[in-house]
Amino acid sequence: MRDRLVAMAAGLWWGSLTAIGFVAVPLLFRHLPSPQIAGNMAAHLFTAQTWLSVACGLVLLLLRPKHPGALSGRAGTALIFIVLGMLLALLIEFAVAPHIRARDNLALWHGVGTGMYAVQWLCAGALLWRQARAPGG
């Protein structure tokens, strides 16, 4: 049961990052009448993604093994990916997004946010990949 919940949380995290960042937001900019409208809608989607990322990260933290030595090896690496992914989500929302919304050096802050989002996507992907490994593999 625990392994299935971990797989579901990791899959939801990575899948939602993929769907929003690589599908929904580009479609907004392609089909809405102005970049400003698309940007405002994208901001709402990214805020929702932040809280979904935090929720998935918390579930993964709560379901981590509690035995001695749980911070060594694979479990320790997973902890780094979970915490880094959650930290990036919160930094994007509270440190980067306000600059983007204010159009404060938009190119710089958009680039920083995109890079941080990509690293968060990689963290969630690594967690999912590790969880989805074949039994005994």
Residue 4 has pLDDT above 50, yes or no: yes
d(CA 127, CA 125): 5
Residues 43-90 pLDDT 10s: 999 999 999 999 999 999 999 887 766 566 777 899 999 999 999 999
Q: Which two tokens stand for residue 9?
A: 């949380």
The answer to whether 24 and 45 have CB atoms below 8 angstroms apart is yes
pLDDT tier at 110, thresholds 50, 70, 90: very high
36 HSE (CA, 13 A, CB side): 2
**pLDDT value, residue 41:** 98
Residue whose pair of structure tokens reads 């392994």 in the numeric block: 3
**pLDDT value, residue 76:** 86
**pLDDT value, residue 92:** 98
Percent of the chain past pLDDT 70, that is, above it, reads 93
Reported pTM: 0.91
96 or 133, which is more confident: 96
Q: Which two tokens stand for residue 50?
A: 């932040």
Tell me how many degrees the CA angle 64-70-74 measures, rounded to the nearest 5.
85
